[in-house]
C-alpha cells in the first residue's frame, strides 16, 4: 500500500486491507442469491419437464430441440429482432433530434428537458393504458382519422398494426434516455471548435457531419447496444398493451417465456427460452464491454427495465 | 431537424436577423414537442376527472362534467390505500438497502484498484443484462416453498438486484470524481481506512446518494412484472399491480384506472420539478469520460 505513507519507513509487512472486500461483500451476496442461484437452477429447469408445482424428470436438451422447431418460438425470435431494431432506430433518431434542439442557450431549457423526460420515468402501467385508451377501437385516434376522412386503423387487432403499436409506445418510453445521453455528449464539444467551424463558413449540416458526429459516434454505438438490451428485456410495454397478441403476434422472448411458465405451466420450456435470451443478452453485453473502453455510457434511470 | 440543429452556434456568416428567427423557431419547436410528447400524460390527468358513464357515451377529450367521483371510488370501493402503503414500504426498503450496498461497493471499486476490483466492476456491468424472467422462475418456486409469496418484502431483493449494477457504477463514478488527497492525508495522520470513509468520503457523497435514491425509487415504484408474479393478494399488491385489475380487454374501468394512474404519477412530477439535476447527473454518471 505505497500510497498510505509518504514517509519511507523500515520495510514492515502491513496487514492486508480487508475493508474493500468487506464493502463488496453485501453486493456479492445479493448477486449470488438473485442471479447466481436462479442461473444455475434455471439452467437445470430448462433440462426438465413438468410444471411449477411438480417439476418433472430430466429430459436432456429436449426442450431446446423442440423449441427450435416450434413456430411460436421462431416467430418470437423474428418479432424480437424487429421490435429491437425498430425501437433502437426510432428512439435514437428522436432522442438525437431533441438533443440537438436542446443544445443551445435557451431560457427555461431545464423546463423543456424536464417535460421531455416524463415519458421515461412514469410507470409502464400508466403510459400503456393511456395509449390503449387513445388508440383503441372507436377511441380518440379513430375518431380523428374518421374526421380526416380516413378509415380506422386496427392498432391492436392485426398482427402488423399491433407490432407497430408496441414499437411506437416503446419508442415513446425510451427516447428520453437517448436524448439525455446525446445532450450530455453534445455539451462536451469544445465551443472553440464550433466557433472555428463557423468562422470557416461551415453550415449546420457541415458542423454536424464534421464536428458533432465524430464526437458522439462512439457513445452512439454504446447507446444502440444498450437500447437493444432494454428492448430484448422489455416485458411490460408489450404485456400491458397486447399481452403478446393478437394470437402470438407480439410475443418477444420475454413474453413468450412468461407465457410458457406462468400461463402454460411448462417450466422447462419457459426456462429454456429465458436461457436462450440470456445468451443473446450476454453477446450484446460483451460487445458493450468492448465499446465501453472509450465511453462509459449512461446508467439510465431505467424505469423501463 | 437540421434546419434548427445548431442555431446557437455562432455561425457568423448568418445575419443576426436570421439567427434570431432560428432561435424563435427552436423555442416554438420545443414547446410544441414538449406538449405533444406529453399528450398521453395529459390524457391521464384529464380523464381521471370524467365519470365512468361518460367513457361509454362520448369520445370527447375534455370531460362534459368535471367530477372527482373516480377518486371517491378509489378511496371507498377499492384497496387503493393498501396499494399505496405497500408501494411506499417496498420503495423505502429497496432504496435504503440499495443505496447502502451501492455506496459501499462503489467506494471500494473506486478507491482500491487491483485485478480483483477491476474484474468485479466489469462483471457488475455484465450483470445488468441478466434477464428478469430467469430470476423469476426459480425464485417463484423457491419463495413458494418458503411461503414468501404475497409478502410485500419478497420483491425487495429482486429490486435491489435490479438497482445495484447501475447504482454501483453511479457510486463508483461519483467517488472517482472526489479527490482522494484528503483521505490520504487522514491516513498519514493515523486514521483507519474505515475512518476516512466514514468521516470524509461518506459526508461528501450526498449528490451521489441522491442520484442512486431517485433511480432506486423510480424502479421500485414503477415496476410491474416482478410484483405481479410475487404479489397476488390485494392486501400485498403494489400500485401498478393493484390498478391492473381495472384493465380488461373489452370493459376496462377507465375512470378509477386513470384516477389511480394520476396519483401514481405524483412522484415522477415531483422529481422533474425538484430533483431533475440529480436525476440527469445520476443518469449520466461517468457518461462521457473526460
Over residues A260-273, the pLDDT tens digits come to 999 998 999 999 99
Q: Does the ipTM surpass 0.90?
A: no
Residue-wise pLDDT tens digits, B104-145: 999 999 999 899 999 999 899 888 889 999 999 999 999 999
Residue-wise pLDDT tens digits, B209-234: 998 999 999 999 999 999 999 998 88
Collect all residues of chain B within an 8 Å Cβ-Cβ radius of residue A255: none
Of B46, B45, B63, B50, nearest to B253 by C-alpha is: B50
Collect all residues of chain B within an 8 Å Cβ-Cβ radius of residue A199: 12
Mean pLDDT of the region A89-113: 92
Report the CATH superfamily, name and number, of domain A54-291.
MetI-like (1.10.3720.10)
- Mean pLDDT, chain B, rounded, equals 86
User: Which residue intervals of B58-155 are DSSP H helices?
Assistant: 69-77, 80-111, 115-127, 132-145
Phi first, then psi: give them for residue B100, nearest 5 degrees.
-60, -50
- Mean pLDDT, chain A, rounded, equals 87
All three cell numbers of B126: 455484465
Which region holds residue B79: left if phi is over 0, alpha if psi is between -120 and 50, else beta?
A: alpha
pTM: 0.89
With 0-12 CB in 10 A as exposed, 13-18 as middle and 19+ as buried, what is A283?
exposed
Biggest CA-to-CA distance, chain A: 91
Instruction: Decide yes or no: CATH 3.40.50.300 for domain B75-283.
Output: no
Residue-wise pLDDT tens digits, A200-234: 888 888 999 988 998 898 889 888 988 999 999 99
Q: A157: pLDDT confidence band, cut at 50, 70 and 90?
A: very high
Does B16 have pLDDT greater than 80? no
Residue B252 vs residue A117, higher pLDDT: A117
Residue-wise pLDDT tens digits, B164-184: 998 998 899 889 888 888 888
Does B288 have pLDDT greater than 80? no
Mean pLDDT of the region B30-49: 94
Of B207, B203, B45, B100, nearest to A23 by C-alpha is: B100
All three cell numbers of A117: 423526460
Q: Is the link from the previous residue into B194 a cis peptide, with omega within 30 of 0?
A: no
Collect all residues of chain A within an 8 Å Cβ-Cβ radius of residue B268: 118, 121-123
> A33 CA to chain B: closest CA distance, Å?
9
Mean pLDDT of the region A77-85: 97
Quick one: DSSP state of residue A56?
A: E
Residues of chain B with CATH 1.10.3720.10: 75-283
Domain range summary for chain A, segments of one domain joined by +? 54-291
Instruction: Check CB contact under 8 Å for A21 and B108.
Output: yes
Q: Cell numbers 429490486 label which residue?
A: B159
Which of B40, B112, B284 faces A180 most closely, judged by CB atoms?
B284
Amino acid at each position: 500500500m505505497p500510497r498510505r505513507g509518504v514517509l519511507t519507513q523500515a520495510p514492515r509487512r502491513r496487514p492486508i486491507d480487508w475493508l474493500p472486500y468487506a464493502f463488496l461483500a453485501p453486493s456479492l451476496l445479493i448477486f449470488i442469491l438473485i442471479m447466481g442461484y436462479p442461473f444455475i437452477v434455471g439452467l437445470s429447469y430448462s433440462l426438465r419437464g413438468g410444471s411449477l408445482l411438480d417439476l418433472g424428470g430430466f429430459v436432456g436438451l429436449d426442450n431446446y430441440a423442440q423449441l427450435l422447431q416450434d413456430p411460436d418460438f421462431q416467430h418470437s425470435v423474428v418479432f424480437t429482432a424487429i421490435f429491437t431494431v425498430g425501437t433502437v432506430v426510432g428512439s435514437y433518431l428522436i432522442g438525437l433530434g431533441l438533443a440537438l434542439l436542446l443544445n443551445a442557450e435557451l431560457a427555461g431549457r431545464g423546463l423543456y428537458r424536464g417535460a421531455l423526460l416524463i415519458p421515461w420515468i412514469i410507470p409502464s402501467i400508466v403510459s400503456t393504458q393511456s395509449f390503449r385508451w387513445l388508440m383503441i377501437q372507436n377511441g380518440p385516434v379513430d375518431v380523428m382519422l374518421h374526421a380526416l376522412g380516413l378509415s380506422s386503423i386496427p392498432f391492436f387487432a392485426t398482427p402488423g398494426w399491433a407490432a407497430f403499436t408496441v414499437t411506437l409506445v416503446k419508442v415513446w418510453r425510451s427516447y428520453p434516455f437517448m436524448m439525455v445521453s446525446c445532450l450530455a455528449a453534445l455539451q462536451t464539444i469544445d465551443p472553440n471548435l464550433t466557433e472555428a467551424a463557423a468562422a470557416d463558413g461551415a453550415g449546420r449540416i457541415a458542423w454536424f457531419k464534421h464536428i458533432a458526429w465524430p464526437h458522439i459516434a462512439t457513445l452512439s454505438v454504446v447507446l444502440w447496444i444498450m437500447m437493444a438490451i432494454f428492448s430484448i428485456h422489455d416485458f411490460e410495454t408489450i404485456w400491458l398493451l397486447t399481452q403478446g397478441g393478437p394470437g402470438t403476434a407480439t410475443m418477444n422472448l420475454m413474453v413468450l417465456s412468461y407465457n410458457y411458465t406462468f400461463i402454460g405451466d411448462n417450466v422447462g420450456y419457459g426456462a429454456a427460452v429465458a436461457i436462450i435470451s440470456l445468451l443473446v443478452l450476454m453477446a450484446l453485453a460483451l460487445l458493450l464491454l468492448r465499446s465501453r473502453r472509450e465511453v462509459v455510457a449512461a446508467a439510465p434511470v431505467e424505469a423501463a427495465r | 431537424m437540421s434546419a434548427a440543429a445548431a442555431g446557437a452556434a455562432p455561425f457568423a456568416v448568418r445575419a443576426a436577423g436570421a439567427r434570431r428567427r432560428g432561435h424563435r423557431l427552436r423555442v416554438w419547436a420545443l414547446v410544441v414537442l414538449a406538449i405533444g410528447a406529453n399528450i398521453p400524460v395529459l390524457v391521464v390527468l384529464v380523464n381521471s376527472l370524467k365519470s365512468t358513464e361518460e367513457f361509454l357515451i362520448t369520445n370527447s377529450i375534455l370531460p362534459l362534467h368535471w367530477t372527482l367521483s373516480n377518486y371517491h371510488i378509489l378511496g371507498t370501493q377499492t384497496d387503493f390505500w393498501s396499494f399505496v402503503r405497500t408501494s411506499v414500504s417496498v420503495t423505502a426498503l429497496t432504496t435504503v438497502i440499495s443505496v447502502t450496498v451501492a455506496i459501499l461497493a462503489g467506494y471500494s471499486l473506486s478507491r482500491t484498484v487491483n485485478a480483483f476490483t477491476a474484474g468485479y466492476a466489469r462483471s457488475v456491468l455484465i450483470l445488468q443484462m441478466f434477464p428478469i424472467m430467469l430470476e423469476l422462475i426459480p425464485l417463484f418456486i423457491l419463495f413458494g416453498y418458503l411461503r414468501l409469496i404475497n409478502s410485500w418484502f419478497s420483491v425487495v431483493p429482486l429490486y435491489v438486484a435490479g438497482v445495484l449494477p447501475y447504482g454501483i457504477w453511479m457510486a463508483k463514478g461519483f467517488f472517482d470524481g472526489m479527490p482522494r488527497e484528503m483521505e490520504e492525508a487522514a491516513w498519514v495522520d493515523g486514521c483507519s481506512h474505515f475512518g476516512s470513509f466514514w468521516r470524509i468520503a461518506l459526508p461528501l457523497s450526498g449528490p451521489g446518494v441522491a442520484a442512486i435514491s431517485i433511480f432506486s425509487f423510480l424502479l421500485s415504484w414503477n415496476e410491474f412484472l416482478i410484483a405481479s408474479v410475487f404479489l397476488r393478494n390485494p392486501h400485498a399488491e403494489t400500485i401498478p399491480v393493484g390498478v391492473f385489475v381495472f384493465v380488461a380487454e373489452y370493459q376496462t374501468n377507465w375512470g378509477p384506472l386513470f384516477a389511480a394512474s394520476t396519483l401514481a404519477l405524483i412522484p415522477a412530477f415531483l422529481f422533474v420539478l425538484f430533483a431533475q439535476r440529480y436525476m440527469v447527473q445520476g443518469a449520466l454518471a461517468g457518461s462521457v469520460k473526460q
